[in-house]
Structure 1
Amino acid sequence: MTQTKAGGRRWPLLLALLPLILGLALYGQLWRGWAAQFETTLAAWFPGQPVSVSGFPYRLEAELTGVQLAHAGVAGLRASVDRVRVNRGPWRPELTVLQSEGVELAAMLPGLAPLVTAPAGTASLKLESGRLARLSIVLPGATGRIGLSSDGPAFAADNLELHAREIEPGATGAATDPSLPQRGQLVIGSEGLRIGNGAAISLAGDAKLRGAVRPGDWLRWAADGGSVDLVISGRDATGELFALDGTLVPVGSGLRLAGTLRTVCPLAVQAALAGTAAPTEQRLRAAVQLTIETALPAGGAVALRGLPADLATRPRRAQLPACPRLR
């Protein structure tokens, strides 16, 4: 009689747990399907790499070693990573997060060949309808080469951030804008940036790519009037040192930069561009606006015009630290 009562009590308990058991079994099947899809995606992203996805039940995760990626062509990209952990949420296939060790990134463009290395880095990748909605890369302790020429100056930074996105034509700007539509954007931010033997500064850059076609096809993009709107500013703990507003356009096998440069340290900026020693200079009370023009690779030729004849007698901020050495 006692055994019958005990057995009777177990059935209601099992019946109560049955929906949970069935739900877990169904979720397990769904997770295995998501994992298989993620493995297929990673196999396409990292060809030749063995891929095995784990992380049940909360995430999809894979770890890869010795990753080498390259996109050849007139505009080339290369990435090398010693070890990378790739993960995404089961319900967010559009967003992928990467945590890497031993990172090296390089770009090979007409007139430019920047190189960045870092002991570790994180990145998030968001894709929408086959387009790059956002790629964000954070590289603490980054070092590398500016890449304005084959022997461009080296740099080191406490932290370097790169944010890129592709933009649908018509998503920005007015319909009456006479310039070509914006196709993409690259935002660069750096703290504690030192170029060569220069002082540490903070750098912010914003590059907007315009063109009749997507920027992936460099030759066609350049032939159809592609250009880049470029805004770069640098500051130290005291305030803004310089701000560049210019345009990059393809010319032959390189690029041409033309624009204006506002600065309170014109002699320091001039010396940095020329690669010479900067004289001691106090910051101006009112910034001067100069014009800048150069071809990349520059070969050391940078035209900086507009230095005022009365520069030596202009009011200075003597109570502030002198202009820093920028290179």
Structure 2
Amino acid sequence: MTEKIAGGRRWPLLLALLPLILGLAVYGQLWRGWAAQFETTLAGWFPGQAPIVSGFPYRLETELAGVSLAHDGEVDVRMTAERLRLNRGPWRPELTVAQGEGLVLAAALPGLSPRITAPAGTASLKLSRDPRGQTRLARLSIVLPGASGSVGLASEGPSFQADNLELHAREIEPAGTPAANDPSLPPRGQLVIGAQGLRIGAGAAISLAGEANVRGAAPLRAWRAWAGTGSVDLAISGRDATGELFALAASLVPVGSGLRLAGTVRTVCPISVQAALAGIVPPAEQRLRAPVQLAIESLLPAGDAVALRGMPADLATRPRRGQLPACPRLR
């Protein structure tokens, strides 16, 4: 009799658990489908790799070794990593997060060939689709502690090191068709740069904040199509613990096989800025009380051939901030 009662109690319990068991089975099938899609995506991103996704039930995750990613063309972009861990949420195929070790990022375009290395770093990649169904870069954020490398002007110099380097890029879809009489070109993309403890060559550590806004009649997907009308608006500032050292406002325009840089530099340390551009050791300089604005122009790649005009003739007699630390060596 006791066995019958116990058996009768089991059935209500099993019936109560049945929806949960069925739900887990259905979710397991859905998760396996999401994992297969992620594996297919990663195999397309990293040819030669055979990713296996794990992380059930909360995430999709895989780890790859000896990773290499490249885009060849008029603009070459390359990334290598000794080890790379990638993951995304089961319901968020548009967002991928990565942690890497032994990282190398490099690009080659007319006028510039930057290269960055870092022992480790993190990144998040968010993609979206426009009304025409094309995939667009909604956001790419990269954080690289202990980064080093070079901007990649002529003769590879100067080199740099940074305690922390951040890069944030996005593709911009113009809001509408610009008017025929509108002289401004529609925005196509943006790159935001932040660096702490940045040392250029043998220069002192400074903080750098920069923004590059890409404009053009054509999207920045094929260099030749974009370069006919394209330009890049630059805004870069550098500061130390005492305050702002310089602020660059300039434009980059494709010219032949290079880039033409033209704009202005506002600075309280004009001699130090001039020495940094020339690649020489600056003399001792106290900060100006009021910044001066200088014109800057160069054709990249041009090494040290950077024209800086507008240095005031009365610079030696201008008021200085003697109570503040002297201008740091910038390069």
- Do they superpose with TM above 0.5? yes
Choose from 219, 234, 241 the match for 2:245: 241
Q: Relative to 1, partners in 2 of residues 1:204 and 1:174: Cα closer, same or farther, differing over 3 Å? A: farther
Contact 1:113/1:150, CA 8 A, preserved across alignment: no
Against the structure 1 CA distance between its residues 53 and 172, is the aligned structure 2 distance closer, same or farther, given a 3 Å change threshold?
A: farther
Matched, 1:222 2:227: yes
SS in 1 for 2:29: helix
> Structure 1 residue aligned with 2:269, among 261, 265, 268?
265
Q: Percent identity?
A: 76
Aligned: 1:312 with 2:316: yes
2:172 aligned with 1:167:
yes
Q: Is the 8 A contact 1:60 1:89 kept in 2?
A: yes
Q: 1:293 aligned to 2:263?
A: no
Q: CA deviation at 1:75?
A: 1.0
- The residue aligned with 1:66 is 66
Between 1:164-173 and 1:131-140, the stretch displaced more is 164-173
List alignment gaps of at least 5 residues for structure 1: none
Alignment match, 1:42? 42
Residue from 171, 184, 187 that aligns with 1:179: 184
Question: Matches of 2:156 and 2:92 in 1, distance apart?
Answer: 43
Retained in 1: the 8 A contact 2:266–2:293? yes
- Matched pairs, number: 326
User: What TM-score, normalized by structure 2, do the two folds share?
Assistant: 0.96
1:171 and 1:228 map into 2 onto residues whose CA distance is 20
CA contact (8 A) 2:157 2:303 kept: no
> CA–CA distance in 2 between the matches of 1:58 and 1:248?
45
Unaligned runs of 5+ in 2: 130-134
**Which SS does the other structure have where 1:150 is aligned?**
helix
For residues 181 and 256 of structure 2, what CA distance do their matches in structure 1 show? Answer: 30
Residue matched to 1:141: 146
Quote the Cα distance in structure 1 between the aligned partners of 2:304 and 2:260: 14
- Residues of 2 paired with 1:190 and 1:174: CA distance? 38
Aligned to 1:208: 213
The residue that corresponds to 1:325 in the other structure is 329
CA RMSD after TM alignment: 1.5
Residue 86 of structure 1 corresponds to 86
Instruction: Tell me the amino acid that sits aligned with residue 323 of structure 1.
Output: C
Aligned equivalent of 2:194:
189
Q: Distance in 1 between matches of 2:90 and 2:221?
A: 30
Q: Distance between the aligned counterparts of 1:311 and 1:238, measured in 2?
A: 21
Secondary structure at 2:156 match in 1: coil
Say which SS state the counterpart of residue 31 (structure 2) adopts.
helix
Q: How much has 1:171 moved relative to structure 2?
A: 7.2
Contact kept? 1:172, 1:182, Cα under 8 Å:
no
TM-score by length of 1: 0.97
Q: Please report how far the alpha carbon of residue 174 of structure 1 lies from its aligned counterpart in structure 2 after TM superposition.
A: 10
For 1:26, what is the secondary structure of its paired residue?
helix
CA shift, 1:151, in A, is 2.4
CA distance in 2, matches of 1:172, 1:157: 41
Offset at residue 152 of structure 1 (A): 1.3
Question: Is the 1:291–1:304 Cα contact (8 Å) retained in structure 2?
Answer: yes
Q: 1:6 to 1:31 in 2, by over 3 A?
A: same
In 2, the alpha carbon distance for the partners of 1:23 and 1:279 equals 74
1:158 aligns with 2:163: yes
Q: Which residue of 1 aligns with 2:120?
A: 120
Q: Is the 1:113–1:149 contact (alpha carbons within 8 Å) kept by the matching residues of 2? A: no
